[in-house]
Amino acid sequence: MNKHVVVLGGGIGGLATAYHLRKLSRNLKITLISDRPYFGFTPAYPHLAMGWRRFENITVPLTSLLPRFGIEFLNEAAESIDPDRNRVRTANGTEVEYDYLVVATGPKLVFDVEGQEEHSASICTAEHALETQRKLEELYREPGPVVVGAIPGVSCFGPAYEFVFMLCHELVKRGIRHKVPVTFVTSEPYVGHLGLGGVGPSKRMMEDLFAEKDIRFITNAKVKSIGKDRVVYEDSEGREQEIPAKFTMFMPRFEGPQVVASGGDKLANPKNRMLVVNRCFQNPAYGNIYGVGVVTAIPPVEPTPVPTGTPKTGQMIEGMAAAVALNIVNDMSNSPDRYAPTLAAVCIADMGREAAFFAANPVIPPRAWVKTKKGVWVHYLKTAFEKYFLWKIRSGNINPWFEEKALELLLHMKSVELCRECEGPPGSRC
């Protein structure tokens, strides 16, 4: 009887894992469960919010796509996991039995600052981005102060930087930049920290960019409340401060979703409910459960005065997906080899006409190397990659040979490596 792999989540991590599994084995039964009927290219959501992309251009319907590659699609929200009985239950009451489970749901967005969900815009989902686009139109009609940033506990800082730079570019184009004071408020100890402890000269680069674009920045800030016309925060001295704001966009904190927490403390990290995994992204308690993407628990790169998390970039997530698919197939074929993803961060922050490029290998210092670049060519590189990645999703060609080689030539980086810490019989773990 063919083994059944169930993948929870239809984002970058879920689709990459399902496609890798299909590429490695034609005999597997693969079921992908997602509450959204489409794949959305998350890095383009800031562009959607700015009105620079259309929803249909950065999304792909899954109902007609996945069956073409022999992948069953269940458009329902996964509600609970019973790891002892190897079952997933959906909000519709459907029970799906699995031999292997891959959790790639993405995070739960936590809007726990007073007034954040009511008054602050967001770019974390396509729906949020479309609502932000509407709010921006109001700002363009009646210009006023803007505050953008990240609350304590945020791990994904790149989109906040990207959004504030793109918004400034749009305001200049519309001839109203001089009417809009812009402030960046972040929990990072310095601008350019990015949750990574900095990437080479990223601090100097960001400070220069903020100065060039006349953006005031405030670091080590604990945002206390977000109102209709102001943001209240606690500064590094513990004093409460206030900034006027007509429009705000703050990145929310991430937690593990309820479906992970439903599996108990052996699955969910008690602190943030993220999925507990080892370096091969296998759950230590249940060897047939793996995690891919933002839903996995990775410790912070370093302690900071105000809590910050470690980002999981698209390159990291694709590496996780490749490693997990290899490990599942090897486990089924009784191979002792286990693979771990190379956790190197690659981030491109668009700024309208130009963009900034950051790469750190590995994510956790000490690092073998870092790269930071800025220029018009980086902007076009991001645009080209967006079109290329959407082609990959539509064609099912998630990791073609030439992409591997291009990545190695550009960054001297591979997606996965053989894990030397795993030993023993198949099914053993780090």
Active-site residue numbers? 156, 347
End-to-end CA distance of the chain: 29
Strands of 146-150's sheet in order across: 215-218, 182-185, 146-150, 247-251
Cα separation, 207 vs 202, whole angstroms? 8
CA neighbor of 74 nearest in space, from 85, 54, 84, 88: 88
Contact assessment for residue 157 and residue 199, using Cβ atoms and an 8 Å cutoff: no
Contact assessment for residue 152 and residue 233, using Cβ atoms and an 8 Å cutoff: no
Residue 416: count of CB within 10 angstroms of its CB: 20
β-strand 339-341 against 182-185: which pairing, if any?
unpaired
As to burial, measured by CB atoms within 10 angstroms (0-12 exposed, 13-18 middle, 19+ buried), residue 233 is buried
The H or E element containing residue 404 is helix 401-411
Cα separation, 278 vs 55, whole angstroms? 36
Query: Can you say whether residue 175 is alpha, beta or left, with left for phi > 0 and alpha for psi between -120 and 50 degrees?
Result: left
User: Which residues neighbour 19 within 8 Å (Cβ) at sequence distance 6 or greater?
Assistant: 69, 396, 397, 398, 399
